Amino acid sequence: MAQLTGKTAVVTGATSGIGLAAARRLADEGATVFIAGRRKPKLDAAAIHVGPNAIPVQTDVSDLDDLDRLYTAVRQHGKGIDVLFANAGGGEFATLEQVTEQHFDRTFGINVRGTLFTVQKSVPLLNEGASIILTSSTAASTGGAAFGVYAASKAAIRSFARTWATELKDRGVRVNAISPGPVDTPGLTGLAPTADQAGALKDFLAGTVPLGRMGRPDEIAAAVLFLASSQSSFVTGSELMVDGGQNQV
C-alpha cells in the first residue's frame, strides 16, 4: 500500500543520482513531488522519469530568489509540505594545499548555505508532522583524501539536523540527516576526469566498503522513504548511515 498518498514532497538536486531516485520513490508512494534542479533540459527529463506526480521547478539552491520561486510554486499548490529532502550538493577534489577561495565558496555555497536557506524558507509551509531529510555523507566522519572541504561541509549538515530537530520539535516536525557511503551516481563518477579514472575511482571506493561494493541510488532512496514516512515517527535529530558498513572501519 502506498505510504505517502496525498502528501506533498520537495526534493532538491532531483535531476540526477540520489535525488532523482528519491523523487521517483516518493512519487511511486503517492506523493506529489516538487522536483528542483538547476538545468531545464535535465529537469524536464527528470519530470518524465519521476512520472505524473512530479512538478518541476527550475532552482539553484545557492540563489535565494530561486528558492523563493520554488516555494511560491509550492504555496500556490495549496497543500503545504510534508516531506523536504534537501539533497542538492556536491564536491571537488582538492588537498589542503590546493584549496582555493573559489573552491571553498562553491562547496560551502551549495552544501551548507544552500541547505540552510532551502530549509529556512520551507518553514512557513511545513505541515504538522512534516519530515525534513538532509544529505550528509560518511565523509563527514571519515574525512577523505583530498576531500577536506567537502567533508567539513557535510559535517555541518549533521550539526544542522540536530539543531533544527530541536528548534522545530514544537511543530511536530522531524529533522534527520542521511549519510550515504560511496554511491554510484553521475556526481561521484564525474569527479574523475576520464572514464578509465572513473573506473579506478569506483574500484577504490568499493574497496573501502565492508560489503565490498558501492551503493545504488535506489538503496539511498529506500532510506529516504523510511525517514519521510510515519515508519520513522520516533526518529529525529539523528543521522542514518547507509554505507555498507563503511563507518564501522
| Contact call for residue 158 and ligand NAD (CB under 6 A) | no
| Contact call for residue 144 and ligand NAD (CB under 6 A) | no
* Binding-site member from 56, 144, 182, 244 for ligand NAD (CB under 6 A): 182
Instruction: Mark the segment that binds ligand NAD (CB under 6 A) among 23-31, 49-57, 81-89, 224-232.
Output: 81-89
| Contact call for residue 176 and ligand NAD (CB under 6 A) | no
How many residues make contact with ligand NAD (CB under 6 A)? 28
Q: How far is the CB of 6 from ligand NAD (least distance, A)?
A: 27
Q: What does the alpha-carbon distance between residue 211 and residue 226 come to, in Å, rounded to a whole number?
A: 21
φ, ψ dihedrals at 40, nearest 5°:
-55, -50
| Contact call for residue 107 and ligand NAD (CB under 6 A) | no
Residues 82-101 contacting ligand NAD, CB under 6 A: 87-90
DSSP readout, the chain? Answer: --S-TT-EEEEESTTSHHHHHHHHHHHHTT-EEEEEES-HHHHHHHHHHH-TTEEEEE--TT-HHHHHHHHHHHHHHTS-EEEEEE-------B-TTT--HHHHHHHHIIIIIIHHHHHHTTGGGEEEEEEEEEE--THHHH--TTBHHHHHHHHHHHHHHHHHHHHTGGGT-EEEEEEE-SB--HHHHTTSSSHHHHHHHHHHHHHTSTTSS-B-HHHHHHHHHHHHSGGGTT--S-EEEESTTGGG-
Identify any residues that bridge with 178 across adjacent strands, giving them in sequence order.
135, 240
Q: How far is the CB of 181 from ligand NAD (least distance, A)?
A: 7
| Contact call for residue 137 and ligand NAD (CB under 6 A) | yes
* Binding-site member from 80, 143, 187, 237 for ligand NAD (CB under 6 A): 187
| Contact call for residue 56 and ligand NAD (CB under 6 A) | no
Q: Which is nearer to ligand NAD, 32 or 135 (CB)?
A: 135
Residue 71: active-site member: no
Among 71, 150, 164, 226, the active-site one is 150
* Binding-site member from 4, 50, 183, 227 for ligand NAD (CB under 6 A): 183
Contact status, residue 144 vs residue 161, Cβ threshold 8 Å = no
Residues 33-52 contacting ligand NAD, CB under 6 A: 37-38
Which active-site residues does the annotation give?
Answer: 150
* Chain residues that interact with ligand NAD, rule: CB under 6 A: 12-13, 15-19, 37-38, 59-62, 87-90, 110, 114, 135, 137, 180, 182-183, 185-188
